Amino acid sequence: MKNQLKKINFNHSFIFFLFCNIFSLTILKFENLVFSPLFCLLLILSIGVSHGSLDHIKGKKLLKIFEIKNIYIFYLIYIFIASTVIVLWMIIPSVLLTIFLIVASFHFGKEDTQFLIAENSYYNQLLFFLKGLLVILAPMFFHFEETISIFKLLLIDNESFYRTLDFIEMNNLILFGIILSTLSSILLFAKKFELKKFTIFLDYFSILIINYYLPPLMAFTIYFCFLHSARHGITLMHELDENDLKNGLKIFIKKALPLTILTATICLLGLYLLNNSYNFDSSILKVIFIGLASLTFPHILLEYLIEKNEK
């Protein structure tokens, strides 16, 4: 069954790679094409957020491990962590953004690759982090000023934070980070070589292509929705029905739909409230990134606790 999952993910990566190339070539012919942040938000709220919409099922599994029967305890803790992240972002945004980028790098690298790597050693964890770092560094390398402008819209008003970023950019540390990320992909690929591990390089070049041709927000949206979230969704579908992926998809949609709709509703309500104090595009960026940060922390913690206790 693991080989079947590897094959499915390889095919998915190949299709995504072709899509990135075709989409990028199309963009070249429409130089004046502008991507609406609202379009990105709607994609993330539908396709992107759905990959975490089975967390309540995983929460039941975790409570069962701890012999806790009341599911509301899980919901309260999950909401408390998400709310705490939002509050802390209001107080110390530059610190929360830095932590979020570090955590997201590890999360992206691990979830996009772990189906290929059986061993969960500290060495592999480091390689996962470095691999996922490409998602964070690529937009900064190709569109530094535009990425900084997004940070400023996320309530980051800290001159020392931006001086640090300028120092990193001027001393080619971003390029050095990308080289390390490239090396990590090579090491992950070479370890116990098999043909399906070319998935790693298909993903690697796809991320570089979309970040080279597209503005940071659109590049991240395409990666998050159609590579990261889709891959996590494929894993969940496979778990729901190992023998029939189409049936797994039907079950996944049915189970994921309620929390996806609830999350989207809360985010749109937040957008409405923010729009009273900020312009529309700025409000959208806050909902996307601060909202994702608030959901990412409890999502990763849940994955970690299940993984640790199942072992």
Q: Residue 50 has what pLDDT?
A: 82
d(C-alpha 155, C-alpha 5), whole Å? 41
Residues in the chain with pLDDT < 50?
A: none
Q: Residue 134 has what pLDDT?
A: 98
Task: Print the SS3 string covering the chain.
Answer: CHHHHHHHHHHHHHHHHHHHHHHHHHHHHCCCCCCCHHHHHHHHHHHHHHCCCCHHHHHHHHHHHCCCCCHHHHHHHHHHHHHHHHHHHHHCHHHHHHHHHHHHHHHHHHHCCCCCCCCCCHHHHHHHHHHHHHHHHHHHHHCHHHHHHHHHHCCCCCHHHHHHHHHHHHCCHHHHHHHHHHHHHHHHHHCCCCHHHHHHHHHHHHHHHHHHHCCHHHHHHHHHHHHHHHHHHHHHHHHHCCCCHHHHHHHHHHHHHHHHHHHHHHHHHHHHHHCCCCCHHHHHHHHHHHHHHHHHHHHHHHHHHHHHHHC
Domain count, the chain: 1
154 neighbors 93 (Cβ within 8 angstroms): yes
Query: Is 32 part of a structural domain of the chain?
Result: no
Query: Is 239 part of a structural domain of the chain?
Result: yes
Q: Residue 124 has what pLDDT?
A: 93
Query: Is 26 part of a structural domain of the chain?
Result: no
Integer CA distances (angstroms), 143 to 17, 32, 182, in order: 21, 17, 19
Query: Is 248 part of a structural domain of the chain?
Result: yes
116 neighbors 188 (Cβ within 8 angstroms): yes
> Residue 253: exposed, middle, or buried by beta-carbon count in 10 A (0-12, 13-18, 19+)?
middle
Looking up tokens 């929460």 gives 59
Query: Is 22 part of a structural domain of the chain?
Result: no
Query: Is 83 part of a structural domain of the chain?
Result: yes
Q: Residue 1 has what pLDDT?
A: 58
Query: Is 235 part of a structural domain of the chain?
Result: yes
Structure token pair of residue 123: 């060495």
Number of other CB atoms surrounding residue 266 within 10 Å: 14
Q: Residue 79 has what pLDDT?
A: 92
Looking up tokens 């080289």 gives 179
Q: Which domain holds residue 168?
A: 2-9+37-310
Q: Residue 191 has what pLDDT?
A: 83
Query: Is 69 part of a structural domain of the chain?
Result: yes
188 neighbors 117 (Cβ within 8 angstroms): yes
Longest pairwise C-alpha distance within the chain: 59
Among candidate residues 240, 283, 225, the one with its CA nearest the CA of residue 38: 283
Structure token pair of residue 45: 């709220």
